[in-house]
Every structure is written in structure tokens, then in C-alpha cells.
Structure 1
Amino acid sequence: MLARDHQKAPLMVIRPFTLPCGTLMVFIVNPTGGTLGGDTAEVKVSVGPGARALLLTQSAARLQPSPTGAEAVQTLRFEVAAGGRLEYYPERVLPFAGSRFAQTMCAELEPGAEFGLCETLATGRVMTGERLRFGRYRSQVEVRQGGRAVYLDRVDLQPAEQPLSAPGLLGGNDYSAAGVWVGSGVPDVFPAVPGGLASGLNAAGAVWLRATAARGPDLDRMLGQAREPLRAALFGAEPLQVRR
């Protein structure tokens, strides 16, 4: 049950649906033409004890050019109570040529809470010749449980200043993904695809995932195949059956 929601344009919350597994699926929608330089957006989500929530976006996040050089800023704050679960799997971030974007995400988990996150990023509108022509993309993800940091990831991409196509970075690929899951279980086997996807367990007990691919559908397929075994092992969860 969605107990309360407060929304203000340009972000909207669509009426939630309950999935067959009992998880509440909630969509965050931006009905405008995209995110503009200078925009500021804030998302706060609190999940109570025993609740299960799946947070999605309806379409790719289109980061529009910023002629003035101003960054678009997005802040996400998640709180999950003991026995609760929050999963956030937004659609792809698509940075247009000249766009500038900064995102900060922080998840505060009580002991016994569960959390899952996976984000994907394109190098731009590849088919229109805008590969690696965005100005800057910055992101910081922090996950804390019981007041202790269990995961921290920082990304700062500036194509004009960095050789992002070099081996060890994108390696010539145009699509990348990063994810983290925190739960009570531990996977017996961590998903991996040679040259494309890797995952593992960090010292704090969080499962991380990294992936790159030349094509968006290939990346999505790898992530789908990796995500469900991780969810089953960490959460004891049934496969997600998302209805759009």
C-alpha cells in the first residue's frame, strides 16, 4: 500500500500496482521533454517494516543540452526500515551533446532491511552521431546500513578531458551499468560474462555488479539474467514480473 505521496512538476508519481509476488510497483514519470541544465529534482522514498517496493521510471532519462553550462541536479534519498525492501531500477540515462548532470543518491537501511539498485548509462544518442559528446556526467551512490557505510561509488565522466574509450573504462562500448544489492543471503555463484559483466561481494557484505556492452539490448539481457539469481539468493525473492 502506498500510504502517502507528495509530488510537484516536472516529476510525477503514477498510481502504483501490486505485482503477483506482492511487491508494490511505483513509477516516477517526467512528462516533459527531458532534464534541462539548471533543473533541480529531489526524490525521497521511505519503506516501512515488512513493505516491498519496486521503484521504476517510465522511459529513458533524456539529459538535454545546457547552453549556459549549468548542471542539472538530482538528489535521491531512500530510507528502508527493518524487514522492508526497496528496489530501484530506472530506465537508461541518455546524455545529449552538451548536457551536464550531477546526481547524488543515498540509501539509509536499518539492520535487516533489503535494497537493490541497478542503473544504466549510454554514451549519448549513438545513432545520431552524439557518442561521448556530453559535457559532464557525475554520480555518487552511498548505501548505509545501521549507520555504517556498506557501499560507495563515485563516477565523474568528462569526455573532452578523459579517454573514456580506453581499455578498463568503456573499452569501445556505448552502454554501461552499475548495481548494488544488500540482503540477508549470500550468493553461491556470482554472475559473470567474459568481457561484459562482473559481480562480487565487498568486505561490508554488499553485492556489486558492473557491465558494459556495445548494444543496449545486449546489456539489458545480461542484466536481466544476472539480477534474478542475485535477488533469489539475497532476498529469497520470486522473479519480477513487471507490467508496463
Structure 2
Amino acid sequence: MPLAPYPPRADRLTADHYNPVRVPPDVAALASVPDTLAPGSPAKVGILDLAFAVRGGRTELVERYQKTPLQIMRPLWIDPEQPGMSYVYIMATGAGVAQADRYRMDFRCGPDTQVHLTTQAATKIFRMEHDYASQRVHLSAEAGSYVEYLPDPLIPFRGSRFYQRTEVTVAPGATVVVADTLTAGRLARGERHAYRVLATDLHISRPDGTLLAIDTLRLVPGRRGGGVLGPAVFAGHDLVASLFAVTDRVPATVLADALHDALAGLGLLHGVSVLPRDCGAWVRVLDDSPIRIAGAQEAVRQAVRRLLTGRPAPDLRKP
């Protein structure tokens, strides 16, 4: 099946393309016209559209459109165990996400592609006095593909307001591994849960629209019933990390057991479960140490890669 065509350039720059479709009420209530650059102004809209296909025995980036502040490094082929896998680092030319920023990223991975997507560094969400910032991520994986989307942690600064919606479309026969890490704030400064609102949505579905899984997070510190420190959210810790693996290469219970075994003995608070419709498994980990959280994420990534491909993942040498 050929990759779906890109939308025309003009369509990508319309507000309907980069603005979130449904904004949570806690975020929408903060919408306003900032006294700086308004949404849609130069440097306030970041667009990244990437398409991958197999060419000459390896996965190549066959289409690309980028608009500052979002951009990528050229793809790298650095995996000796899977030399055809394309590794792509996503970068932002600014220091972080500011008020009224609107980002959208689209990743289309064709049949039998092998793609690893990550960021160059943590995403910093700056203090905001007006409006909010948002990011839309759309990832599609076609049959036979193996795709990892593993961004670095999200760090919300004091007073920040941010909404992220990630939509993942997984065809039967494809494998997608999606992870995220949220911090309580600038921990080295002693800043914890000082942001105004942090909201995220993850939707995973089939190409025909069949819903596989939803993960929703709403964090509003200081609001009665906000519960950012409750057992279902941070549970008194400073970091929470999640990883979702959707695949039909192995039974969901086998995948869940592999995730559990990868974390056993690390001394971290965690939970593992199969996903609805037995489409895969997921894990959530909580701790106070960024180093231990990063180690746990790497342990489960390695476990998934070894189980599903029979090969280890390379060391990405991130600090």
C-alpha cells in the first residue's frame, strides 16, 4: 500500500492543521490573546511531516517537510543488529516551548519499515502568563513495520500551561512502541508541581478506526480533587514514565511478562498490564531519580526489542 500523500503546503499552515481539535476544559479556559506573539505568528508554529519507506534493503526518509522551530537531523543507521533501521533525532531550534506555541508532528511509516524516533533533549515547557501551548503528534505504522517513538522527558516550568495529544494508528501486523516521561518540574531547583495545568491524551487505534487504548492525564496542582500526588498519578514521586507496546508478534501476556521481568529487582514502583483487545502491553513506573527512571525505560525497551526481534537495541549514548 503506498503512503498517503502529504497535504498541500498551504493546508499544513492553516490553524485547523496545527491547533488541537479538542482542548481539555482546564486548558481551554486559559485561552487568550498574549501580549507577545499570537498563535500562528512567525516562529510560533512548528510543523514536522516525515514519511518512511523501504528502499534498497533499508528504511529511508522519503518525504520531509519541516517548519522552524521543529526540525530533524538526517537519519542515521547506527544499529549493527538491525542495520536497516532508521534513527531520527527531533530537534527544536528554540530553548523550549513558550506561550501560544502550536506544534504538530506527523510520522508515516510504510510497510516493513524500521524506525526509531527520539528527541535530542528533554522538552522544556516555559512559564506562561497568557494562553497555552500545545503539541499534536500523529504516528501511523503499516503492516510489517517496527516503530519506536521514545521522546525525552517533559519538564513543565512554574506557571506553564500545556496540552499534548498523541494519536497512533497501528495496522495489523505492525509493531509500535510509544513512551513518555513526565517530571514534576525543575527538580534541581526544588520546583515541583508549580505548573498551572498539564494535560496529555494518547489514542491508539486501527486504520479502520477501531479503538485499542486511551491514556488520559489531567494535572491541575492546587485544585481541589486535582490529585497530582495521588496513587493513580505521581503517588508522591517526582517522575512518572509510561511505555505502550502494540504488537501481534507475540501474545499480550507474554509481552507483559517480559516487561515485568525487566523491572523486577530494580526497586521501582511500577505496574504492568495487557492492553485492551490483547493488542499488546503497557507499563508505568514511578520514582524520584531521573537516572533510575531512564534506566527503567531502557530496560523495558531492551526487553521489548529482544522479545519481538530477537536482537538487542544499541546504546544511544544519551547523557
Deviates more, 1:140-149 or 1:186-195: 186-195
Give the drift of 1:111: 1.1
Matched residue, 2:250 = 185
Say which structure is richer in strand: 1
The alpha carbon displacement at 1:243 in A equals: 5.3
What letter matches 2:154 in structure 1?
V
1:232 paired to 2:285: no
Provide the C-alpha distance between the structure 2 equivalents of 1:136 and 1:237, rounded to a whole number of angstroms: 40
1:173 and 2:234 are equivalent in the alignment: no
Q: Corresponding residue for 1:209?
A: 283
* Cα distance between partner residues in 2 of 1:40 and 1:142: 19
Structure 1 letter corresponding to 2:99: G
Given that residues 182 and 234 in structure 1 are in contact (C-alpha distance below 8 angstroms), is that contact kept between their aligned partners in structure 2? Answer: no
Residue number in structure 1 paired with 2:151: 90
Q: Distance in 2 between matches of 1:202 and 1:57?
A: 26
| Deviation for aligned residue 1:145 | 2.3
Report the equivalent of 1:126: 187
| Greater per-residue helix proportion | 2
2:74 counterpart of 1:12: no
- Establish whether residue 104 from structure 1 lines up as the match of residue 165 from structure 2: yes
Q: Distance in 1 between matches of 2:230 and 2:280?
A: 28
Unaligned runs of 5+ in 1: none
Q: Distance in 1 between matches of 2:272 and 2:314?
A: 20
Give the secondary-structure state (helix, strand or coil) at the position aligned to 2:201: strand
Matching of residues 68-83 of structure 1 within 5 Å: 68=130, 70-83=131-144
Q: Which amino acid aligns with 1:238?
A: P
Superposed CA deviations along residues 176-218 of structure 1, whole A, max 9, x for unmatched, are: 1111001221326242446512222123222111011011101
Instruction: Give the match's secondary structure for 1:97.
Output: coil
Deviation of 1:131 after TM superposition, in Å, equals 0.7
1:210 partner amino acid: R
Q: Does the 8 A contact of 1:114 with 1:235 survive in 2? A: no
CA–CA distance in structure 1, aligned partners of residues 144 and 158 of structure 2: 43
Give the letter aligned to residue 240 of structure 1. P
The structure 1 segments of at least 4 consecutive aligned residues displaced by more than 6 Å after TM superposition are: none
Is contact 1:65–1:99 with CA below 8 Å preserved after alignment?
Answer: yes
Partner of 2:14: none
1:52-104 per-position Cα deviation (integer Å, ceiling 9, x unaligned):
01001001100001111x11010011111111121100011000000000011
Q: TM-score, normalised by structure 1?
A: 0.93
Q: Which has the larger radius of gyration?
A: 2
Q: Deviations over 1:33-55 (max 9, x none)?
A: 21011100000011111110100
Structure 1 distance, partners of 2:72, 2:206, is 27
Residue 48 of structure 1 is matched in structure 2 by 110
| Alpha-carbon contact 1:197-1:222 (below 8 Å) kept | no
Contact 1:19–1:241 (CA under 8 A) maintained in structure 2:
no
**RMSD (CA atoms):** 1.7
The letter for the 1-side match of 2:109 is V
Of 46-55 and 234-243, more deviation after overlay is shown by: 234-243
- Count of aligned pairs between the two proteins: 243
TM-score, normalised relative to structure 2: 0.72
Cα distance in 1 for residues equivalent to 2:147 and 2:137: 13
Equivalence for 2:87: 25
1:137-148 aligned within 5 A? 137-147=198-208, 148=210
